[in-house]
Amino acid sequence: MSRIKQSFSHLGQQMEQAVKRGLDRHVRLGVTGISGAGKTAFITSLVNQILNGESQFLPAWQVLEQGRFLGAKLAPQPDLTLQPFDYSGAVGKLKQGHWPPSTHSISEIRLLLRYQPSKGLAGQFGQPITLTLDIIDYPGEWLLDLPLLGQEYAQWCAEVWPELNRGAWQEHSRSWCQKVRALEGNEDNSVINELASEYAELLKTLKQQYGASLLQPGRALLPGELAGAPALAWFPLPPSLLERLSEESPLRQTLSQRFSAYCDEVVEPFFRHYFAKLDRQVVLVDCLSALNHGRDQTEQLALTLSRLSHSFHYGPGSMLTRLFRPRIDKVLFAASKADHITADQQPALLQLMHSLLKESRRQPKYFGTEIETLVLSAINATEQAKVSSAQNQSVIKGRDLDGQWRVRYPGEVPRRLPDADFWQQQGFDFSGFMPPLWQGDEPLPQMRMDYAMQFLLGDKMR
């Protein structure tokens, strides 16, 4: 070969390498939602679909449907300071017939996805590309803390105190609230610490027994590695008491200082190190459990969603942009556990989520962030069926929590938040199921995970 030809061929190889390197892609996907919303189930299913998915079950995931997906494997996680997301543990639990343990802290898992590009320079060179996907699982309760960064302690108290006294759980929170109302302002640390640990217990009960979702500070509920730290030992004071207390009162000073320490040492670093590095975000929303609980819980879920979605609402001059320069360009709000209802009710579930999200969806602009909404089931625990004896009534069939197979008509999903009269007459019962009988030889049964995958990864795998 002549020298000129040789150097052209060398240049060609170099260009090809550069194109390959330049087009290898990386997505950091955050998965969040209030505890119990379905994060662990979602990530387990997402990883399972990526590793084992078949196009007949994932028709909307184009790279697979077009035969360009070459396969995927798990890889060591990049951030060794984080817990690994325990995928094999979750799969093991499901095979034994149990739901995997829920998210308690932040964790991470990395996958490498190989595919053949269809377009552009890389497509012309015919070289496969690797998409590195990091999935970061973290509690929605932690995301709800973000607005604290723009607040003073007294502002925060004015916001959360009424939420503690909502009708549905007032009876339960009354005795703690009374103790706090009776404070005089000169209490020492031991009293403050005691009330703070009672407050954390109260929040857990409001969450677990009463279905409350807007509970702060988020780490009081899910402390992760911070359990027992003084930065968590604070609580709200009623606005009427704050008005009476001078700025110098020891109680007010201690609580304000701890509030600030929490913001500076816990909230800010979390957002800087993790949130600000996410490219895409899934927010799981369990509307059905809120409906089961009642009116206050469903109303509060709307408020919670509005707070959560503010985290993705950043534009020039917003606090988020100033602090972190976030770069999330796609957010998926997914109404989870759609296998708890009959297929004909799924459009209503989507509308209900839209109506709960309405304030946030109406925000003038998400400044380049694309928002999508979807109804899905990460792991189908039921099958859809019809009962011919009852005018072809749609029903679902699954194993109740006692392990017995049942055929159920779970009822209609309201298209918007029902009014007060409705709640006085009736409620909802979209109860849970045991996981499917599954031995791992097929992909996990799911509903619309392929739409989620196409929205979150499709443009990166063209």
What is the Cα–Cα distance from 180 to 157, expressed in whole angstroms? 12
- The dihedral of CA 387, 393, 394, 398: what is its sign? negative
Residue placing its CB nearer to ligand GDP in the complex, 102 or 253: 102
Identity of the residue, 231 or 449, whose beta carbon is nearer to ligand GDP in the bound complex: 449
What is d(CA 103, CA 224) in angstroms, rounded to the nearest whole number?
Answer: 10
User: Rule CB under 6 A: is residue 450 a binding residue for ligand GDP?
Assistant: no
Measured from the CB atom, the residue of 99 and 210 that comes closer to ligand GDP is 99
Q: Which of 52, 83, 102, 351 binds ligand GDP (CB under 6 A)?
A: 102
Q: Is 300 in the site for ligand GDP (CB under 6 A)?
A: no
- 36 is a site residue for ligand GDP (CB under 6 A): yes
CB of 35 to ligand GDP, least distance (A): 4
Question: Which region, judged by CB under 6 A, interacts with ligand GDP, from 32-40, 152-160, 203-211, 419-427?
Answer: 32-40
Choose one: 73-81, 98-106, 111-119, 202-210; the region binding ligand GDP (CB under 6 A). 98-106
Does residue 278 interact with ligand GDP by CB under 6 A?
Answer: no
CB 73 within 8 A of CB 132: no
Return the closest-CA partner of residue 353 out of 337, 338, 374: 374
- Work out which of 49, 77, 103, 309 binds ligand GDP, going by CB under 6 A: 103
336 contributes a contact to ligand GDP by CB under 6 A: yes
Least distance in angstroms from the C-beta of 78 to ligand GDP:
22
Q: Does the protein bind ligand GDP through residue 396 (CB under 6 A)?
A: no
Nearer to ligand GDP, 249 or 298 (CB): 298
438 near ligand GDP, rule: CB under 6 A: no
By C-beta, is 307 or 340 nearer to ligand GDP? 340
Residue showing tokens 């000073």: 253
Window of 17-25, 31-39, 110-118, 454-462 that interacts with ligand GDP by CB under 6 A: 31-39
Q: How far is the CB of 162 from ligand GDP (least distance, A)?
A: 26
Tell me if 449 contacts ligand GDP by CB under 6 A.
no
Using the rule CB under 6 A, which residue among 138, 235, 430, 433 binds ligand GDP?
433
Number of residues that bind ligand GDP (CB under 6 A): 21
Interface pick for ligand GDP out of 27, 41, 302, 320 (rule CB under 6 A): 41
Q: Quick check: 39 binds ligand GDP (CB under 6 A)?
A: yes
The residue ranges that bind ligand GDP (CB under 6 A) are 33, 35-41, 99, 102-103, 336-337, 339-340, 377-379, 381, 432-433
